[in-house]
C-alpha cells in the first residue's frame, strides 16, 4: 500500500507486479478494491499495476468531489510519484479523467485505455439515462441515498439479457459500492465540470496524440455508451476501438479473462 499527498487529501493505492507502470482509475462509486483480481491478472502480464482510491472514495478520505478537474490533478500527482510516463486504464468516469489528463499532461502518459467513459454524456443522453437520473434523484430527495445509488448501479451495469452486474456481486462488494453512495450522488448533481459534462471539448479530444484505445462491453445494455463512443471516434479517428467479449460496464467483474486479455492487448499497442 502506498500514499500520495495532494492538496487537502492523501490518496491511498495498492500495487502489484513489476515492469512498466500501469495505473488504474476507477469509476463513479468504485474504489481500488472494485478492480477485484484485475491487479494480479494484469501484473502477471508484465506490468507494475497501481490502483488508487480517488479522492472521496475508500481510504482516500475527503468530502465528495463534483469538480473533475480535481480528479485530473490527483491522477497527475499519482503518475508523477509512481513513475511517468505510465500506461493509464480508466473505467467509466475514470476514463473521462484519463482522457482529460492525456490532453492536459501528455508527457505523463505512455498510452490511455478507457472502458465506456461517459464523455459528453449529457449532450448525447438517451432516454434510459435520463429516466435513471430522474428516478435516483427522486429517491435521493425522499431521503433514501442507498436506494438512489443502487438505482444507478443497476442501470449502469445492465446487461443485454436483462440481468445486471451489480446484483450479481457478492453482498460484501455491493456494500462497498453503496458505501460510496454520497460521492455517486454528488457526481450526478450536474456540476459544470462533472463527469458527464463537457470540460474536455471535442477539439481537445481530437488533438490528443497519446495513443487511446476505447473499450466497450459486448453485453452492455444501454445504447448510451455506444452513442458516446461513436461520437468520439467521429471527431478523433485515431482512437482505436476494441470490445470485451461477454462483459458489460462492470468489465472485469463480468468477464475477468476476456477483460484482462483485451486490456493487455490495448496496453501493448502503446509504443
State how many domains the chain has.
Answer: 1
Half-sphere exposure of 269 (CA within 13 A, CB side): 20
Q: pLDDT (tens digit, 9 = 90+) per residue, 34-76?
A: 999 999 999 999 999 999 999 999 999 999 999 999 999 999 9
Range of the domain at 95: 2-269
For residue 141, count CB atoms less than 10 angstroms from its CB and return exposed for 0-12, middle for 13-18, buried for 19 or more. exposed
For residue 33, count CB atoms less than 10 angstroms from its CB and return exposed for 0-12, middle for 13-18, buried for 19 or more. middle
Q: Residue 233 is part of a domain; what is its CATH number? A: 3.40.50.1820
Nearest to 57 by CA among 158, 160, 175, 176: 176
Q: pLDDT (tens digit, 9 = 90+) per residue, 134-183?
A: 999 999 999 999 999 999 999 999 999 999 999 999 999 999 999 999 99
3-state secondary structure of 152: helix
Query: Per DSSP, what are the bridge partners of residue 243?
Result: 216
Q: pLDDT (tens digit, 9 = 90+) per residue, 194-209?
A: 888 887 889 999 999 9
Amino acid at each position: 500500500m502506498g500514499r500520495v499527498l495532494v492538496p487537502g487529501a492523501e490518496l491511498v493505492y495498492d500495487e502489484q507486479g513489476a515492469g512498466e507502470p500501469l495505473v488504474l482509475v476507477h469509476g463513479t462509486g468504485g474504489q481500488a478494491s472494485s478492480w477485484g483480481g484485475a491487479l494480479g491478472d494484469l501484473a502477471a502480464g508484465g506490468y507494475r499495476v497501481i490502483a488508487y482510491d480517488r479522492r472521496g472514495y475508500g481510504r482516500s478520505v475527503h468530502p465528495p468531489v463534483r469538480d473533475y478537474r480535481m480528479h485530473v490533478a490527483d491522477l497527475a500527482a499519482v503518475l508523477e510519484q509512481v513513475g511517468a510516463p505510465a500506461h493509464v486504464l480508466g473505467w467509466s468516469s475514470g476514463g473521462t479523467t484519463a482522457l482529460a489528463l492525456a490532453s492536459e499532461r501528455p508527457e505523463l502518459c505512455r498510452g490511455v485505455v478507457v472502458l465506456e467513459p461517459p464523455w459528453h454524456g449529457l449532450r448525447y443522453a438517451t432516454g434510459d439515462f435520463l429516466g435513471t437520473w430522474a428516478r435516483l434523484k427522486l429517491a435521493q430527495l425522499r431521503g433514501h441515498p442507498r436506494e438512489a445509488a443502487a438505482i444507478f448501479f443497476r442501470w449502469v451495469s445492465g446487461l443485454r439479457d436483462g440481468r445486471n452486474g451489480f446484483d450479481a456481486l457478492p453482498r460484501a462488494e455491493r456494500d462497498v459500492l453503496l458505501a460510496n453512495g454520497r460521492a455517486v450522488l454528488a457526481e450526478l448533481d450536474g456540476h459544470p465540470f462533472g463527469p458527464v459534462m463537457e470540460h474536455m471539448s471535442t477539439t481537445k479530444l481530437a488533438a490528443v496524440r497519446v495513443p487511446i484505445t476505447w473499450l466497450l462491453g459486448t453485453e452492455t445494455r444501454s445504447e448510451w455508451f455506444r452513442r458516446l463512443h461513436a461520437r468520439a471516434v467521429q471527431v478523433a479517428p485515431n482512437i482505436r476501438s476494441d470490445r470485451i467479449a461477454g462483459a458489460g460496464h462492470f468489465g472485469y467483474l463480468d468477464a475477468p479473462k476476456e477483460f484482462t486479455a483485451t486490456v493487455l492487448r490495448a496496453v501493448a499497442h502503446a509504443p
